[in-house]
Amino acid sequence: MRLFLLVMLFLALPALAAADCPPAHLTSTYIPAHDFYASKVDTGLVGSPESVTVRYDQTSGVAFLRRVAGLGGGGSTLDLVDDYTVSGLPDGTPVTLDAKLAAYGNAAPYSGSHGPSWTVTLGPGASSVKGGNVYQDWSQVLTLPLSVTAGTPFRVHFLMEIFGGFDSFEQNEGAALHFEGLPVGATISSCHGYLQGAVPTASTTWGSLKSRYR
């Protein structure tokens, strides 16, 4: 029977999010599945032969996932979910906009030749778009067109997946979410505290994303 050691390293963790906000969900090969209800998390989990680092901030739409594992394969997934609402327009106004997810992945192989892989999915449901790569470091921007109604919450999630093959790897995956195409005067907010105007306050570069979540 494997011994699972759960190391909770919450650093400056704020109060838990509202109880009705959707949780983030982590699954991993050698670590029990875990739900995170906080809007911001920085934690490490260990289950031999792997360790997983989860860092995310739903209030700014950024996330980072790291998996370090010995021989034996497996992988980890982090599903971030939030309910968003367009405001600043009369309730019931149809709104079309794009959800944009900037993502990257890299790895530092410890041994062997079976390369790693990464997948990132921006949803919901059948309309989801997917990206990622196998064996090589990568970066990509996913675009998901949305048709929503002002004043009515809608759900968006992004799923980050890391797979390690059968060799030893340190793998990293990061992502940042924002929206484009909001009408002038409109804002978009979320259950977990995300807030954005018609023009994002700052563009996310690969350098800033990697330096903040690495």
Tens of pLDDT along 124-176? 776 788 888 777 788 999 999 999 999 999 999 999 998 876 666 788 999 99
Q: What is the pLDDT of residue 206?
A: 45
Q: 132: closest CA among 93, 110, 106? A: 106
| pLDDT, tens digit (0-9, with 9 covering 90-100), for 61-111 | 999 999 988 766 788 999 999 999 999 999 999 999 999 999 999 887 655
Of 12 and 206, more confident: 206
Read off the DSSP letter of residue 39.
S
Residue in 126, 30, 21 with CA at minimum distance from that of residue 80: 21
Query: What is the model's pLDDT at position 4?
Result: 31
Q: How far apart are CA 2 and CA 171, in angstroms?
A: 23
Residue 193 has phi, psi (to 5 degrees) of 105, 5
Please report the domains of the chain, with CATH numbers, ordered by start residue.
4-212 (2.60.120)
**pTM assigned to the model:** 0.81
Q: Are 188 and 84 in contact (CB under 8 A)?
A: yes
Q: What is the pLDDT of residue 168?
A: 61
The yes-or-no verdict on residue 17 having pLDDT over 60 is no
